[in-house]
């Protein structure tokens, strides 16, 4: 097993067969070696830095019916909410004062947020906080829509592929198409977004071969970011009684992803912290280098319950900021409050709008 891990470290790739052998047969000692290798790889590209992203969960309305998700359209137990532009800007204001330079706007697929409304929100954020990156995570939209949001100033887009297995995907996403989701990821890439894919570990009937397919998909897509978390049941969903995914297997997938995509921005997810009080620290020590503390208003946090027992729902943004920093330092790393763009996208830290650039040129001439 160690020879496979060494090969993966050196070549940033490994055959599907060898990946499967790792998933099927690693001892605790091998897993330890894997985590250490992933940590070393992270260190080579990012040193001790861990990037912070401020997460704003701005709507829990959703038209989709993903079987695992607590905010699915069919869940009548959820009290629905939307944040308006002023409330979102207030979250950014608070986040900016705490040092955040990336805001992640995440929500269900909520038709209320038309392109016009999102464009207006993105423009306002970018004009008030021109030193910040805006990341969107609002599901599947048309190419034209992604284009308009990009033009408005969005920099990055998170759209997990959820699972690369066609049969598993179909069974979990009634009325949705895996092909379309994958097409969305490629469209986002072609439009110049920094793109995040990712998947859940421990979905019902998910096999090790399915997880290898997830890794292979990631290697092919080569996204700038990858979100990996354990599946956790939410009681009012069709999967409410299914056991949660394993922390160990999730950490293994984090480490393998770091070795397959050495420069990837890889969050240590809240779902890991929910299942294991030291889960996020463990992920940082297995190759993760991003954390996404919550900036959503505390009075709506409970309502954004994708799964049960989600942590930090009662904490103020400032508290989350401090708590996460303590965890990062205790794991042996340091907080980096920079924008934390992917290395291939580090052109300048402050973006200059085309209008401003033009005005500068005229003034100089
Ligand atoms: N509507 C957006 C955002 C989805 S929520 C989109 O379609 O991309 C963000 C992520 O939470 C999902 O991509 C999914 O991977 C994860 N998630 C949802 N329900 C979950 C559950 N029960 N357990 C673990 N992760 C879950």
Nearest atom of ligand 1 to the alpha carbon of 108: 1
Q: Does the C-beta of 136 come closer than 6 Å to ligand 1? A: no
How far apart are the C-alpha atoms of 149 and 289, rounded to whole Å? 27
The per-residue DSSP string of 182-241 comes to HHHHHHHHHTT-EEEEEEEES-TT--HHHHHHHHHHHHHH--SEEEEEE----TTSTTTT
User: Distance of alpha carbon 361 from its chain centroid, rounded?
Assistant: 38
CATH architecture of the domain formed by 16-340: Alpha-Beta Barrel (3.20)
Cα(307) to centroid(ligand 1), Å: 9
pTM of the predicted model, to two decimals?
A: 0.95
Cα gap 212→208, rounded to integer Å: 6
Residue found by looking up tokens 């990858």 in the block = 226
> Atom of ligand 1 at shortest distance to CA of 239?
22
Q: Whose CA is nearest to atom 19 of ligand 1?
A: 69
233: phi then psi, degrees, rounded to nearest 5:
-65, 150
- For the stretch 209-249, pLDDT in tens is 999 999 999 999 999 999 999 999 999 999 999 999 999 99
Domain residue ranges of the chain, discontinuous segments joined by +: 16-340
Gap between the Cα atoms of 306 and 271, Å rounded: 10
CB proximity list for 342: less than 8 A, separation 6 or greater: 194, 224, 225, 263, 264, 265
Average pLDDT for consecutive 10-residue bins of the chain (365 residues)?
A: 98 98 98 98 98 98 98 98 98 98 98 98 98 98 98 98 98 98 98 98 98 98 98 98 98 98 98 97 98 96 96 92 96 98 75 51 52
**185 in contact with ligand 1, CB cutoff 6 A:** no
The atom of ligand 1 lying closest to the CA of 200 is 15
Between CA 139 and CA 218 the distance in angstroms is 18
Q: For residue 79, how far is its CA from the centre of ligand 1 (angstroms)?
A: 18
Ligand 1 neighbourhood includes 304 CB (under 6 angstroms)? no
User: Which candidate, 118, 129, 62, 127, places its Cα nearest to that of 85?
Assistant: 118
């Amino acid at each position: 097993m160690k020879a496979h891990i060494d090969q993966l470290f050196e070549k940033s790739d490994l055959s599907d067969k060898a990946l499967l052998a790792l998933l099927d047969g690693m001892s605790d000692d091998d897993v330890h070696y894997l985590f250490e290798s992933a940590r070393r790889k992270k260190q080579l590209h990012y040193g001790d830095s861990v990037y912070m992203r401020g997460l704003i969960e701005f709507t829990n309305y959703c038209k989709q019916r993903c079987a695992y998700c607590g905010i699915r359209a069919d869940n009548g137990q959820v009290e629905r909410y939307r944040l308006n532009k002023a409330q979102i800007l207030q979250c950014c204001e608070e986040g900016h004062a705490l040092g955040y330079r990336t805001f992640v706007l995440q929500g269900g697929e909520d038709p209320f947020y038309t392109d016009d409304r999102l464009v207006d929100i993105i423009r306002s954020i970018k004009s008030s906080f021109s030193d910040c990156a805006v990341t969107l995570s609002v599901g599947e939209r048309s190419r034209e829509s992604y284009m308009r949001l990009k033009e408005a100033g969005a920099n990055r887009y998170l759209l997990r592929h959820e699972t690369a297995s066609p049969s598993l995907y179909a069974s979990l996403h009634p009325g949705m198409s895996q092909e379309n989701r994958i097409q969305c990821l490629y469209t986002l890439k072609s439009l110049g977004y920094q793109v995040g894919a990712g998947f859940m570990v421990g979905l019902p009937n998910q096999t090790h071969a399915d997880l290898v397919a997830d890794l292979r998909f990631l290697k092919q897509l080569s996204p700038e970011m990858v979100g990996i978390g354990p599946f956790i049941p939410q009681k009012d969903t069709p999967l409410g009684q299914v056991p949660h995914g394993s922390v160990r297997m999730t950490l293994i997938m984090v480490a393998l992803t770091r070795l397959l995509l050495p420069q990837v921005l890889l969050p240590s997810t809240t779902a890991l912290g929910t299942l294991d009080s030291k889960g996020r620290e463990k992920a940082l020590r297995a190759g993760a280098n991003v954390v996404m503390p919550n900036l959503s208003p505390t009075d709506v946090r409970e309502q954004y319950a994708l799964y049960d027992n989600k942590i930090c729902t009662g904490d103020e943004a400032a508290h989350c900021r401090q708590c996460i920093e303590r965890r990062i330092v205790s794991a042996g790393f340091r907080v980096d409050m920079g924008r934390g763009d992917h290395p291939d996208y580090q052109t300048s830290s402050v973006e200059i709008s085309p209008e401003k650039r033009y005005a500068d040129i005229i003034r100089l001439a």
